[in-house]
Structure 1
């Protein structure tokens, strides 16, 4: 039996947009991300529940390393006051590599703009499987695309 344990990688992205503006996109309007960053996200669809509610089931179709991926996720935690959000992967391509996978996002207001902190929690299927650094990098690039979309819109 393969030895496995929960691992975590994280990064921060400095944004010009306010924490609330940025958080609102991921929490209440993730389906707009496909329009904002079509080269990364092909579509975001809701299967159960409503946008911006805990327990909703959402699927993401995205490109990573030149390959198409699908991830069906449950919105596990929403903390609107602290701009925190977590998605747990239920099914899809990532579960071929990882026993469990969770995306955590927290956006913190700063004097000028905000900071988005991405944390990926995962358990590898096999020890040789690499940590999902490319996925974390995609979060960074998506954050920058959304930030420039939000800040252009209001200038």
Structure 2
């Protein structure tokens, strides 16, 4: 029987939750402009923000070359998003991979919570620590970008 595993990160940021969420949701425009590691983000189907058959293809600089993600759930009022990776190099190591992102107010800023649920292809496959580190860096740099704007 398959074992679903989880890894998570909680990041405190300075930007208020609504502003951070609005900027995060404009990822197609903002991410390639702010982060050199996001070379391009292409919408394959849908508007790139809605639930369902919306697919987004992201080309990266670095060890992960590209990923195609499907948005499975989104609630702009609650500032939550769930996505599934449906095509990527990481699917050689993980039979399935799903991410959850939420942004909640905390003090004068916010808290970004990211959780990944995944099933390893074999017991030898490590936990996706490098993906976690990559996303934590992205969330913090997005916060710094918003603070400068």
Q: Structures share a fold, TM > 0.5?
A: yes
Aligned partners of 1:4 and 1:126 also within 8 Å: no
Matching residue within 13, 16, 25 for 1:15:
13
- How far is 1:72 from its partner? 0.5
CA distance, structure 2, for counterparts of residue 7 and residue 148 of structure 1: 31
Q: For the structure 1 residues 73 and 120, does the alpha-carbon distance in structure 2 shift closer, same or farther, using more than 3 Å as the test?
A: same
RMSD between superposed Cα atoms in Å:
1.3
- How far is 1:99 from its partner? 0.5
Which residue of structure 1 lines up, in the alignment, with residue 119 of structure 2? 123
Normalization by structure 2: what TM-score?
0.92
Q: Pairwise mapping of residues 9-88 of structure 1 onto structure 2 (< 5 A)?
A: 9-27=7-25, 29-31=26-28, 32-38=30-36, 40-55=37-52, 56-63=54-61, 66-88=62-84
Matched residues, number? 147
CA distance, structure 1, for counterparts of residue 14 and residue 60 of structure 2: 25
CA distance, structure 2, for counterparts of residue 93 and residue 78 of structure 1: 25
**Structure 1 gaps, min length 5:** none
